[in-house]
Amino acid sequence: MEKLQKALEKARATRLARKLPIELNSDGAPDESLRPKLESWEPLTEIKFDPAVLERNKIIAFQGGPAATYYDILRTRLRDECKRRDIKRVAITSTRPQAGKSTTLANLAFSFGRLPFHRTMIFDFDLRRPSMHKLLGQTPRYDMGQVLRGEVRFDDHILRHGDNLAFGFNAQPVVNPSELLQSERTLDFLAAVDETYFPDLMLFDMPPFLAADDAHGFLSSIDGVLLVVEAERTTRAQLDMVEQKLSELSTVIGVVLNKCNFPDETDVGAYGYEYN
């Protein structure tokens, strides 16, 4: 597929990412004039998941239902807020390791995947300790580092689930991740993906904010950030400090309180989630 390569060349020349949101006609179906935007996904390699593996790894939003309620609420509120603020690229990070950000993103991904005509791409940009592929029971041949460096074609690596959800996994840790994420090559890549595949939303799994500087440099390339904190382990001081630093780099869309045994009694909203 040469479309992405041409778009990449154009992005390098213009360094301007176009934003072309999908529109629906009166009967709720995509406008036929925008059909090429949907067809660009069809050639992508389709991926299958083992429900047993997902359940074992606490990915409970795969098939929907009552178990996925909290993630569906998070999805809807995030979608509405992104639409209100004209946001298309969102990084997911945490204050510290083991907060459950990758698990949160994986569940959120499948929740978005059940939205008709809403195209969502998930990228594992935790290039130091990638875990998304393990959570979803996958063994990728390549990693996003190879894609960003131009060693592997994006359309040979990205995997599609259904008609409107795609994943970019990592096979292993990437050398010099911070420098790679802050490079102009990564900026051009994001612009080329935007122009070729027209995703409504791109979600990026990033390293914990206090563990590395990867997110620091990359946040200037995206529209907003979602912060995941761990109940009973993330202190108020840590939360305030990280949230303030994130707000200096990007727009903090919201905070997710994870691993909370009593979400209805927290001070961050009825579902452990709040917007700023």
Q: In what order do the strands lie in the sheet with 224-230?
A: 45-46, 159-161, 165-168, 120-124, 201-205, 89-94, 224-230, 251-258, 273-275
- pLDDT per residue over 17-36, tens digit each? 333 333 434 444 444 444 55
For residue 137, what is the domain's CATH number? 3.40.50.300
Number of domains in the chain: 1
Q: Which of 59, 50, 73 is nearest to 102 (CA)?
A: 59
Task: Tell me whether residue 158 is in a domain.
Answer: yes
Q: 111 Cβ partners below 8 Å, 6+ apart?
A: 61, 64, 68, 71, 72, 74, 75
Task: Tell me whether residue 24 is in a domain.
Answer: no
Task: Tell me whether residue 147 is in a domain.
Answer: yes
Task: Tell me whether residue 104 is in a domain.
Answer: yes
The amino acid at 222: I
Q: What is the pLDDT of residue 211?
A: 83
Residues of the chain with pLDDT under 50: 16-34, 265-276
Task: Tell me whether residue 270 is in a domain.
Answer: yes
What is the 8-class DSSP label of residue 62?
Answer: S
Task: Tell me whether residue 100 is in a domain.
Answer: yes
Q: Which domain holds residue 169?
A: 3-13+51-275
Task: Tell me whether residue 114 is in a domain.
Answer: yes
Q: Report, in angstroms and rounded to the nearest whole number, the Rg of the chain calculated over CA atoms.
A: 18
Task: Tell me whether residue 116 is in a domain.
Answer: yes
Q: Check if the beta carbon of residue 82 is closer than 8 Å to that of residue 90.
A: yes
Q: What is the pLDDT of residue 37?
A: 58
pTM of the model: 0.83
